[in-house]
Amino acid sequence: MLRRTLLASAALGLGLSLASGAFAAGMDKVKACFVYVGPIGDGGWTYQHHQGALELQKAFGDKVEIAWQENVPEGADAERVLTQMALGGCNIIFTTSFGYMDATNAVAAKFPNVMFEHATGFKREHPNVSTYNARFYEGRAVQGYLAGKMTKSNKIGYIASFPIPEVIMGINSYYLNAKKANPNVELTVVWAFTWFDPAKEADAAKALIDSGVDVIASHTDSTAPLAEAAKSEGKVVGFGQASDMAEYKPSPRISSIIDNWGPYYVKRVGALLDGSYAQADAWEGISGGEVKIGEITEAVPADVKAEAEKIRDEIAAGTYHPFTGPINKQDGSPWLAEGQTAPDGDLLGMNFYVEGVTGDIPK
Amino acid sequence: MLRLEKRPIPSRFWLYATPVVAVILTMIFGGLLFAAMGVNPFAVIKTIFWDPLFGEFAFYLRGQLLVKAGPLILIAIGLSLGFRAGIWNIGAEGQYIMGAIFGAAVGLAFYPTENRLIFPLMVIAGAFGGWVWAMIPAILKTRFNTNEILVSLMLVYVAQTILAKASTGFLKNPEGMGFPGSRNFSSFPAAANPELIAGSGLHWGGVTAVLVALAAWVLLSRHIIGFQIRLTGQAPRAARFAGVAPKRLVVLCMGLSGALAGLAGLFEVTGPAGQISIDFNVGYGFTAIIVAFLGRLNPIGIVLAGILMALTYVGGEMASTNLGLPSAAIQVFQGMLLFFLLAVDVFTNYRVRFGRVEVA
């Protein structure tokens, strides 16, 4: 235990401390650190987080110093990287992948005066751990509508990463809204079991295209699925995922979901600077600016584009919820009654497909 | 004109000088790389090699060196036995994964029972898991003469698939809200492998690594099996005349290296990693191959090499965060180390001659 106290006192000695217990003291200068699961050049998930970090730097200039570590494995190494950052003077640490959840909470326990922000997780075991996420399923609804309208074979595909609620709710939202646009649509889901592996993602896209799928959405981070679609000479289209992936415009990339973390990072670090910081569980969507729909290109007919933008605006205004009943689960049992919208708790723990999706969630 | 001439016997000087020269060359050329990237090379080298040992946060980082070096040493010792005899187990990564899965499965089966016997039982299961996974290439080699390099390597990918299955299926935490990953052993004391002295970084894996290194040293220098291993590597024909059964040696070496890799996996999953997850393995099984050669396949050398390798990881991370180096630059730096090691190793068996090639 001696060493543990030593750790904490070292942190104190470095002047990392705020007024004891309360966070509401305000600071003159903040060092904000970011832990990334992939390389900042992945063109998707990590790239967008880093864009957010750069935006944060720009917003506060001299008052904020940023530091980051790429390619941090989600296991024992994460705990060491986090401890090094906390020892190294970071005041707030953003851990940007689900797999950092336990490490974030473990290190937060040792450094009560450093703020930890964990993306996409649900554990907040200490007062200095907050979680944040974005309602990506709202973007999936717009994509689903476009997919339903754009498919000629009535077969649409989804490259999924891991069977976690985050991914499953994306698949369901995509399917439900595709079905609304085109009742004959069939969805094929391929599980890649990776967040970032261009070769595996390309294989998954190839398999989907070979089975007749002509619209592909992906929940993995690279541009590989779009690169595969580009080889089809316009027959197969897809979406930018996490970042705009504008280099594949106007086709195969017909639209995109853009993760826009900048506003959140600016808000949280700003709160730390002015002393209004408090533990939070943030889950914003299109309305809060965290989820953006990238430009719908001219490859999409004008009326379809207009309707997709209307769906986007209705979601932002709160007049349309992508999960609006009646919706049954895959096994036919009822989930949402007529007119009922999905409670957040159901979404955050979602472990079932909705009726009409074929195949099983890997167990 | 430069020319290589084979030495009648390997040079003892270069045998020991090679790792040192390789490290120095890596520092020089790595430094040039960092300088070309616009970062002060001296600051980087100091951050990587000096700061984790003697810097401001050394009290924490020294322990982390042990955490990182423990599994590398444990696996590399096992591999070195086979490598000495010309038996190439390249699939330690898979055996490491299987050890973790077997051990974790045994432990989780008892959850939440508290009993002192659970952890020892898990240790046995972990070693068994790695041993079983290594027995597949061993038996295929002795029965059907397949290539153990290919089979053991391919089995890594099979093990990774089983790991994904375990994290999302049969070992998934029932209270994890559907997220992949097993229960965390840190909240299951009977099955956990915590630091033996808080803050030291030393857990049962590190202790085992040191004991195994000593045992391997005794085995190689004092025991008949060690003699057989060395003889088979140096002169397979002579070994057969001396009564070595090559098939038994394959089974023994593969089994030992598999069991040790399995142990490393078990100590890692119950300790630093804490849980079975899809990304549980981070390449210790492959890095251990570098460590084995860097340590000249000598148990004591491997201990030193494991710590040096850990230094490049821990220090490399610090250099990356504090000096803004991309992590790819650190990986290139580590790759250079192996590259220069192999290059300089030429001098152990060859000498350089200047002058014309004589026409026979």
A129-180 pLDDT, tens digit per residue, is 999 999 999 999 999 999 999 999 999 999 998 888 889 999 999 999 999 9
Q: Is B274 on the interface with A (CB under 8 A)?
A: yes
Dist. CA A148–CA A2, nearest whole Å: 62
Q: What is the CATH number of the domain that holds A339?
A: 3.40.50.2300
- Mean residue pLDDT across chain A: 89
- Asked whether residue A247 is domain-assigned, the answer is yes
> Under an 8 Å CB criterion, which residues of A touch B?
1-4, 6-7, 10, 33, 39-40, 67-71, 73-77, 79-81, 83-85, 87-88, 98-99, 102, 106, 122, 162-165, 168, 193, 348-351, 362-363
The answer on A166 and A76 residing in a single domain is no
Per-residue pLDDT, averaged over B87-98, amounts to 96
Whether residue A296 is found in the same domain as residue A168: yes
- Other beta carbons within 10 angstroms of residue B22's beta carbon come to 21
Q: Is the pLDDT of residue A2 over 60?
A: no
Are the C-beta atoms of B310 and B69 separated by less than 8 Å? yes
Of A115, A134, A153, the domain-final residue: A134
* Model pTM score: 0.81
**Domain end position, chosen among A134, A166, A189:** A134
Same domain as A301, residue A189: yes
In the predicted model, is pLDDT for residue A234 greater than 90?
no
Please give the pLDDT value at position A23.
Answer: 52
Lowest mean pLDDT across A68-72, B122-126, B257-261: A68-72
pLDDT over 60 at A1, yes or no: no
- Widest Cα–Cα separation across chain B: 78
The reported pLDDT for the residue numbered B357 is 57
Query: From the list A70, A168, A349, which residue is nearest B327 (CB)?
Result: A70
Query: Do residues A248 and A325 both lie within one domain?
Result: yes
pLDDT at A257 over 90: yes
- Same structural domain for residues A115 and A188? no
Q: Are residues A71 and A211 in the same domain?
A: no
Q: Express each pLDDT in A86-119 by its tens digit.
A: 998 999 999 999 889 889 999 999 999 999 999 9
Counting one residue from A and one from B, how many pairs have CB atoms under 8 Å apart?
A: 111
The domain in which residue A113 lies consists of 28-134
Rounded Cα gap, residues A254 and A99, in angstroms:
31
Looking at the structure, do residues A216 and A227 belong to the same domain, yes or no? yes
Tell me which residue has tokens 């229960």: B183
Q: Which residue has the higher pLDDT, B225 or B179?
A: B225
Q: Which of B186, B352, B180, B193 is nearest to B279 (CA)?
A: B180
A88 located within any domain = yes
Q: Which residues contact A250 (CB under 8 A, 6 or more apart)?
A: A297, A298, A299
Please tell me the distance from the alpha carbon of residue B204 to that of residue B194, in angstroms, as a whole number.
Answer: 8
pLDDT value of residue A147: 96
The predicted pLDDT at position A18 comes to 38
Percent of chain A predicted with pLDDT > 70: 93
Q: Are residues A115 and A210 in the same domain?
A: no
A331 in the same domain as A214: yes
Q: Are residues A130 and A215 in the same domain?
A: no
Q: What percent of chain A has pLDDT over 90?
A: 69
Alpha-carbon distance B74 to A179, whole Å?
55
For position A19, what pLDDT does the model report? 36
Output Rg (C-alpha) for chain A, integer angstroms: 21
Residue B35 has pLDDT above 50, yes or no: yes
Write out pLDDT tens, residues B134-193.
999 999 999 999 999 999 999 999 999 999 889 888 998 888 766 788 998 988 888 888
Residues in chain B within 8 Å Cβ distance of A102: 184, 186, 274-275
Higher model confidence: residue A310 or residue A38?
Answer: A310
- Domain ranges in chain B are 69-290
Any domain includes A72:
yes
Give the number of domains in chain A. 2
A21 has pLDDT over 80:
no
CB A261 within 8 A of CB A120: no
| Beta bridge partner(s), residue B353 | B3
A4: nearest CB among B186, B199, B279: B199
- Clarify whether residues A336 and A220 are in a common domain: yes
Residues A144 and A202 in one domain: yes
Asked which of A85, A102, A134 is the last residue of a domain, the reply is: A134
**Does residue A46 form part of some domain?**
yes
DSSP labels, A102-149: HHHHHHHHH-TTSEEEEET-----STTEEEEEE-HHHHHHHHHHHHHH
